[in-house]
Each structure stands twice: as structure tokens, then as C-alpha cells.
Chains A and B, each alone.
Chain A
């Protein structure tokens, strides 16, 4: 216990440099700990070139990523006394004495034309065996991307699960109140760094949804006084109005093949789920019920659409074949389940679950057959869960006082961290897809 507290304290110390850069983006603050996390030493990777050193400390970003996952416990920087930069320099007894299972070493070299080359290796300390050895080249402004890719490779080699650190997140910020409010749809790295504004509006923005290639976002905007759905290219800023029917135009969700968009329209007088073919803009109506049907989200194979409906009295999650058919109720625990996010393997469904005045993120896990529920957040107004593309973590929105903040929680609920914008109200997180094709 004492040891884990000390570990937590040193981990926070390790993260201090991140907090100092909070003005730049989101602040990261780990609020839970996982005693079963694997000990790993990420040794500082010195710059050995002759030009100006890159600003990004690659090993620091790698260690922070691994810590946030909840699966790893990086050795505090102050405990790293030896600084090997390649396998031959590792003195194994030192790391065994520090109870480390794994060690990452590396160095940063010049690659010409203002680029850098990061060479790194991962070793199993007990077996004294090299598990990984790679080099990555990037320009100075892409060094954080390189670090996230290193963390992804280390994470996957050890856990067997693809890493999702080199990904982006989208979210909505609000500043000011009432009629003076300003809204912005933002995109940032998965750790909250490099925030970029996609669109600003004096009217509410909500429900961002990533295209599967990560190039576009669909979202709801109230510009013009009522809801409408836009699809916007993140890098060019070009955008297209895809739905502005009478009534609600809400809850867009790209199909896994990127060719269709599920959405909610109340043009018939009542919210129903539709699928729009993005080529022809033709609409197929999937639900037809006097209840509120909304928040469609696709299974990874595109065959099923999950949605929220109060056809049973209170909101619950239902599923319907994406080609049409009858709806089946999916959630049976909790009086209120909404905003489903489905893991890539379809085995886990995260919801915003309400009980009385408490709204928490709940996880329905069907990996072992019968559904097992767990609560991933403490409440009391938690909402909008969004799975990482590898299913290992979930982003969600919470309220603290009068402001909204984002949390990321490991899917086992063991580690949570807060990502807070320096000022204003943050909500509606959406975790983007993998950035490298495979």
C-alpha cells in the first residue's frame, strides 16, 4: 500500500511538466492507480546530434502514455540512475534490483533537413532478451507523434493489444453563458496535446463523429436557429450540410466503411433512426415508433446499429439490423441507459447509466457469454462514453461544479485520468480511429 502511494506520488511528479504546459491544451491528472500494472523503465533518450535538440522529450511522452493506460507502471525518472541508450549498455542486475520487468532505451539522432531519427529498443529484463528494435524519422513538430507510436509498439508487444496512443480525440468546448456563449469543435492528440479548432460557432455544437479514415467529422450545429448536420474535413476545413430537415437533425454516426451516416431525424414529427447513403444522400428509415429513438452507433462489421429508445418507458439501448428489421432490447440493468459506445469487437457496450440523480458510465461486458455490468465512473453527471479504437480505454464527459471536464478511464475501471481545458467547459468527447492503416 505504502509502496503504491509512493509510486502514485512519483507518478504525479513525473507528470508535472505536462501540467506546466496546461495552457497549451488539456491537463492530465491521474486519479486512480493499478497495483497490478507492469513495472517498466523508460530510460531518457538523449539527443546525440549536432543541431538544436528537439523540444519533445520522447521518453517522457512514452512513459506518460504507458502510465495513462493503467497497464503499466513506469519507473519514476528520479529512480533511473543508469542511462543506457542501447541494448549493449544495459546492466541487467541494476534493473532487476529495481524490480523492473521491462526496459526501453533509445536515442535521438539527426536525420538531415531538420528531421530527427529516434532509435529505440525494448528488452525483457528477466530474460535479457530484446523484444523490439526500431527507428522512426520525423520532423521536429512531429516528435510527439513518434513518441506515441513508440508507446503503441511497446504496449502491443507486451500486452498483445494494439496501442491507441497515436490517435486523436474530438470534443466540444463552450465559453461564456447564455446568449454570449461561444462553442468550438476541437481536435487534439489522445493525450490532449496539440488542440486545434475545427469550427467555432455562437450556437451550440454537439455530437462529433469521426469518419473511419480520421479525415472528417460529422457534427450537429444549431447555427441558423435549429439543428442541422454537417460533415467537415479536418485538414482543409471544407464542409458540407447533409441534413437540415424540419425538427431534430441529430446524432450523426459514420458507418465503418465511411459510405453511410446513421442519424436521427424528427421530420415525421417524432425522432427516428435513419441511414443516409453519403453518395446519393438517400435516406432509409430504420425505426418507426412513437418513442424517442436516437443516438445510433454501428457495430464494427456495419451489420448492426445500436440506439437509445424510450419505447419501454425509460431510455434503454436497443439494436436493429443496419439494413432494416425489428429492434431488440440490449440493456436490462439500470433504469436509464443512453449514449451507447460499442467496442471494436462488439463484446463491450459502454452507456451513460442513470439511477435517481446519479449518472455514471457503465460497461456491459459480454466477453464471457452472459452480460456482466460494471460501473466505471463515480458520477454524478457523467455522460457521452467513447471507446478508444483498441477498446482498452473510454473517454467520457463529467461535471465538476459548473464546468464540464473529460476523463479517460481504462476499460477495467482501474485507472482514470482527467483532461481539463485551461478554461471553459469541455464536453462531447469522441475518440478517433487508428491513424496508421494496418
Chain B
């Protein structure tokens, strides 16, 4: 998608949404983390353990957000994908479920498909960072489990997400 259509899309979204001045806030924490060092370095010293899931600034981030009707991973979430991929590599016995979600607009069954696409996008990105697909399960909840229930863009942006849930640490 080029910039013109992106702006047009944003303009269309803003006409009906109340809070279009508020940009998606979730970008901020992703930027503050310095993860590139962790993503690619195969150091033996920096091996993740289960306790890092609660303490590591990158691993503690378990939600990836998406644009409207999109399943493309936004660049700012590469860091999160990288550190969780490293965790799976470091701990081959660990397992994660990627729960894909959509906002409330449109049909529930189509949104189940959209949630799965987003889960698959995160799964592919994690595997591209060296984790094994056998450690990852994708489940779509579509629009059935919103974290925010207002009908505006602010809320919809929070609901278009993939949640990383560790089922075995």
C-alpha cells in the first residue's frame, strides 16, 4: 500500500471516528526497548530462562497490533517478534499460542479468518527469526474477545491484535 492510499484510508477512518487525533499508543513501548541486539546474536551468555518472561523488557510485551483490515506486521513490532523467537530458540520445550483478534466491524465469521491471518503473520515472523513452527499454535477469536468495547477507532485499534500466550515456559 502506498502512502497516498494510506493517508486516504486514515482520512476515511477519521471522518467517523471521534478520536482520530490519538495515534495508536502501543507504538511507544516498542520503541523504548532496545531489542535488535538480542534478536540476532547467538550468544551463550544471553540465553533466556522462564523468569525473563516476567522481567525482560522485550519479552514482557505480548501484544502485536495491526492496522484496519490488515495482517501486515508493522515495523515497530519486529523487536517483540525477535525476542520471543529467541526465547523459543533458547527453550525448545516452550510452547506458545498466538491468539488472533479483530475489531467489531464486519461479519463475525470473516473476522475469525482475519484474526487467524494476523496470528499466522506473527507466527511466520517468529519462524523467520529462527523459531520452530512446532512450538507455535495459532488460534483465532475473531471479534469475540475485545479488550475495549467502545465503537471508535481508538478502541478498534486496541482490539486488532495478536496476543502471545505461553502455554509451556
Contact = CB atoms under 8 A, between A and B. Distances in A.
Interface in B138-163: 138-141, 144-145, 147, 149-151
A315 B17 contact: no
A226 B115 CA distance: 12
Interface in A254-302: 264, 266, 269, 271, 292, 294-295
- Most chain A CB within 10 A, of B105, B141, B150, is at B105
A251 B109 contact: yes
B49 interface: no
Interface residues of B, number: 29
A206 B144 contact: yes
27 contacts: A206-B108, A207-B108, A207-B109, A222-B141, A226-B139, A227-B139, A251-B109, A264-B112, A264-B113, A292-B110, A308-B107, A315-B107, A352-B106, A354-B105, A356-B12, A357-B17, A358-B16, A359-B105, A359-B106, A380-B16, A381-B104, A383-B108, A384-B107, A399-B104, A402-B149, A402-B150, A402-B151
Interface string B91-117: 000000000000011111110111011
Contacts of B69: 314
B106 A383 contact: yes
A87 interface: no
A165 interface: no
Contacts of A178: 145, 147
Q: State the main secondary structure of chain B at its contact with A.
A: mixed
B120 interface: yes
Interface string A330-356: 000000101100000000000010101
Interface string B119-134: 0100000000000000
Interface in A195-251: 204, 206-207, 222, 225-227, 247-248, 250-251
Nearest to B107: A338
Contacts of B147: 178
A383 B107 contact: yes
A315 B108 contact: no
Interface string B64-96: 000001000000000000000000000000000
